[in-house]
Amino acid sequence: MTPTRYAFIKASWHADIVDRALDGFHQLIPPEQIDVFDVPGAFEMPLLSRDLAASGRYAAVIAAAFVVDGGIYRHEFVAQAVVDGLMRAGMDTGVPVLSVSLTPHQYQETEHHKQIYRAHFVEKGREAAKAALTIGKTRAALAA
């Protein structure tokens, strides 16, 4: 039997923005089919993604984070490590692991930027839901 549940991981950094991805995901997939997991930051997502995918409980795992330049570390390095880890989790388990992890070139903690990225995360969450559903349908057709 193919799982009909979805795991949705959210990084807590910039939660006011990142949580909007779940709002977009809910527009296509009902909340009762989604298990939500919070992690401190983006770097913690790949390991949990792998564990959730390997559990056999989920049709897909979605990981959402907002990786910005904090001035202390190279955010490009973190973003690349996260995306590589998410891809590896999916490839190793055979379960789709989808990224809603965004790394803007320029981000400032202004209300204007926050509004822009909140709206963008809603759209990206909706796109992740579409991708999860499409991959599931395609894989089911291949198995038939």
Feature table: binding site for (2S)-2-hydroxy-3-oxobutyl phosphate: 113
Q: How far apart are CA 69 and CA 4, in angstroms?
A: 36
Binding-site residues from annotation:
13, 42-44, 66-68, 99, 113
58 sits in which H/E element: strand 58-66
Question: Which residue is catalytic, options 74, 88, 118, 126?
Answer: 74
Torsion, Cα 127 86 9 47, to 10 degrees, reads 170
Binding residue numbers for 5-amino-6-(D-ribitylamino)uracil:
13, 42-44, 66-68, 99
Q: At a CB cut-off of 8 Å and minimum separation 6, what does 38 contact?
A: 9, 10, 11, 12
88 an active-site residue?
A: no
User: Cα–Cα distance between 86 and 80 in angstroms, integer?
Assistant: 10
Active-site positions read 74
